[in-house]
Amino acid sequence: MTDVLRRGRASLAFSFFAQGATFALLVTRIPAIQDRYGVSDGLLPAFLAAVPILAGVGSVTTEQLVKRIRPSTLLRCAQPVVLLALLGVGAGDSMVELGIALAAFGLAVGALDASMNMLGVSLQRAYGRSIMLSFHAVFSLGGIVGASLAWVGAHWHLALWVSYLPVVAVLLPATLIGSRWYVDGGSPAEAADEGTSEGGTVVFKLLLPLCLVMTFAYIGDSTVSNWSAKYLKDTLGSSEQLSTVPYNVYMVTTLLGRSLGDSGVRRLGAVTVVRLGALVAALGFAVVALAPGAWVGMLGFTLLGLGLCVLVPQTFAAAGRLFPGASDSAIARLNVFNYVGFLIGSPLVGALGDAWSYRGAMLVPMALVLVTLFYARSFAPQPDRYGGGHERPRTADVGRGSNGL
């Protein structure tokens, strides 16, 4: 059984890595995509907003599908679609083709994000200790690799499909082979039966604090990804070259924080780690807002990476603890608020920056992240549910691998 767990963990970690690289290759080449298809500045926000909206639809659909199909099967089907959709974005010739490729990407990525985290939560339950942060750390590593490959493509002026094809050619067969060792937590029928006692309304009321934390975390994350370069250049007076650094620093510190985060949860508990993360993230936004120059602003973005990085993985883990018999449905619903935060964050900061100031706009995500402190108790293990301590012995019932192990 230990070998089943180890193979399941390794194969799922590779899936997180592949998705991190794929997503980074898409978002970091948006200017090149815009140029290739002649998408105007006015139309671009509509294309960009369509992806998270459709991803939310994909996540909601996944909640219904997992009642009949194992999450491992959904992940095995969704990841190739995401990779092929990325290639389609790079290889199309018309805006219609771009729209079809982005629509496929959005729908599939919603199913992929939800099913990946479902498997991660069920594996954490089987291990009996915190491992969710390690999966998201690998996602961050994939993002760094993908962004680096995107830089190579841009530096050498490679066509988009030339940049994307080698990545898809490597990741597609590798993820399909690795999917043989995914480990599910139980049968769909068992999960549905165990989840009915909670009731849909009661489940959402219990889940709502976690949904808000997820939204606030992604508002913070989208603020960094969309506004860090502009803020450093226009508000703090950095050079154009230096303005590209904050997001890379943010990604590296996110990787570092997530790599160390599981040990922190085991020693201190999830509630303490979430509170510390919220405080560090709020401090980071404050430093960014008050920074007298670019290098102090860089320090703020570094703190943001260290603080925000723990919130999302622990939110998924908390949902699994709250609803051990219906964790797949809870995670699918929770995952929708990933995209809600992404949709709200960038326009919110932009509107406040234009109407007020970008320094003042940074105080809004700071305040929202601080609200997480009031919801931190939702991350505590419940006495009648699994995870009654920071760590417990491994359980022999690990579910069965998707290949029948």
What's the rounded Cα separation, in Å, for the pair 45 and 397? 47
Tokens 């919220």: give the residue.
Answer: 278
Which parts of 122-251 are beta strand (E)? none
* CA angle at 389 for the pair 383 and 391, rounded to the nearest 5°: 140
What are the residues whose beta carbons fall under 8 Å from the beta carbon of 201, sequence distance 6 or more? Answer: none
Model pLDDT, residue 394: 40
CA distance 136 to 355: 35
pLDDT for position 186: 53
Distance CA 72, CA 26 (A): 24
Which domains are seen in the chain, by residue range?
A: 1-185 (1.20.1250.20), 187-385 (1.20.1250.20)
* pLDDT tens-place string over residues 78-104: 999 999 999 999 999 999 999 999 999
pLDDT for 383: 57
In the predicted model, residues of the chain with pLDDT beneath 50 are 187-202, 384, 386-405
In the DSSP assignment, the letter for residue 234 is I
pLDDT in tens, 249-285: 899 999 999 999 999 999 999 999 999 999 999 999 9
Write down the pLDDT at residue 225.
86
Q: What gap in Å lies between CA 260 and CA 271, rounded to an integer?
A: 16
Token pair of 360 as six digits: 């003042």
Q: Tell me what pLDDT residue 274 has.
A: 97
- Alpha carbons 179 and 76: distance in angstroms, whole number: 6
What number of other Cβ atoms are within 10 A of residue 46's Cβ?
Answer: 11
Task: Find all residues with CB under 8 Å of 240, minimum gap 6, and list them.
Answer: 233
Burial class (CB in 10 A: 0-12, 13-18, 19+), 244: middle
**Confidence (pLDDT) at 192:** 45
| pLDDT at residue 325, as a whole number | 80
- Residue 138 vs residues 57, 186, 331: alpha-carbon distances, Å: 25, 25, 19
Q: Are 323 and 384 in contact (CB under 8 A)?
A: no
Give the pLDDT score at 194. Answer: 43
What 3-state DSSP class applies to 109? helix
